């Protein structure tokens, strides 16, 4: 099968048991998928999935779900996970706007946003994954002590994300404007594909950790 052929990726995804199909059916019942009651953490916009695969390998007692909207990107993650399957990691192909239809209140322990699309036009602000509209959705599915971790090299997006916190009822727990030179926040850092690319170019990486 020629997986490089993007037109085939929907079929490959539909046939993959690494992907949760019809994820709405598991709302409130994700522990059934994993067969345990371990905490569940999400990466929204996982891209090719290296970050979430490394995290899942490192933390077998935590369950992970990687969310990606494009089949042509998700297929890369599926290929990698097939070569080295992990019992505590599943993928979903979906638009993150639907997240509250897929996870019930308090079902998620932590959310990772890595190098989210900037949507630079003002009229598209609601589509930005750290926008107040999305923070409201995360609020619905996260446990009370749940946190969100966000990394980006995009200064404008990071400024925007900081300004969204207070109106949405969140506060900073940790923040850096140069992650790769912040010894404390770099402990346990797991690089994403975009992070590797942009930090190699010399771009500073911004990161926050927020809670309610």
Regarding 77 and contact with ligand SAH (CB under 6 A), the answer is no
Regarding 95 and contact with ligand SAH (CB under 6 A), the answer is yes
- In order of 44, 47, 130, 146, the CA distances from 112 in angstroms are 6, 12, 10, 11
* Neighbouring residues of 58: CB distance < 8 A, sequence distance ≥ 6: 190
Task: Find the binding residues for ligand SAH in span 98-137 (CB under 6 A).
Answer: 114-117
Find the helix packing angle between 50-58 and 193-200, rounded to 10°: 110
Structure tokens that stand for 107 in this block = 């079902």
Part in contact with ligand SAH (CB under 6 A); list of ranges 4-12, 24-32, 43-51, 157-165: 43-51
Task: Find the binding residues for ligand SAH in span 126-185 (CB under 6 A).
Answer: none
CA distance 103 to 65: 11
- Residue among 35 and 124 whose Cβ is closer to ligand SAH: 124
Q: Say which of 17, 54, 84, 117 is annotated catalytic.
A: 117
Whether 54 is a known active-site residue: answer: no
Task: Find the binding residues for ligand SAH in span 186-205 (CB under 6 A).
Answer: 192-195
Structure tokens that stand for 18 in this block = 């690494």
Q: Is 79:12 a contact under the CB 8 Å cutoff?
A: no
CA distance 94 to 104: 16
CB of 37 to ligand SAH, least distance (A): 26
Query: Which residues does the annotation mark as catalytic?
Result: 117
Residues that bind ligand SAH (CB under 6 A): 45-47, 67-70, 73, 95-96, 114-117, 192-195
């Amino acid at each position: 099968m020629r997986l490089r052929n993007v037109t085939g990726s929907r079929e490959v995804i539909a046939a993959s048991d690494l992907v949760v199909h019809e994820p709405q059916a598991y709302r409130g019942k994700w522990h059934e998928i994993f067969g345990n009651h371990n905490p569940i953490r999400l990466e929204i916009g996982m891209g090719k999935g290296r970050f979430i695969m490394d995290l899942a390998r490192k933390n077998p007692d935590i369950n992970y779900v990687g969310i990606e909207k494009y089949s042509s990107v998700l297929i890369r993650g599926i290929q990698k996970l097939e070569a080295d399957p992990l019992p505590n990691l599943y993928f979903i192909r979906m638009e993150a706007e639907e997240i509250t239809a897929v996870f019930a209140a308090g079902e998620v322990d932590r959310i990772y946003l890595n190098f989210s699309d900037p949507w630079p036009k003002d009229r598209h602000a609601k589509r930005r994954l750290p926008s107040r509209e999305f923070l409201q959705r995360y609020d619905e599915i996260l446990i009370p002590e749940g946190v969100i971790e966000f990394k980006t090299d995009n200064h404008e997006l990071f400024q925007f994300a900081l300004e969204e916190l207070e109106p949405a009822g969140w506060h900073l727990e940790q923040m850096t404007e140069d992650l790769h030179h912040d010894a404390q926040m770099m402990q346990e850092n797991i690089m994403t594909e975009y992070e590797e690319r942009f930090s190699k170019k010399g771009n500073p990486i911004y990161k926050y950790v927020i809670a309610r």
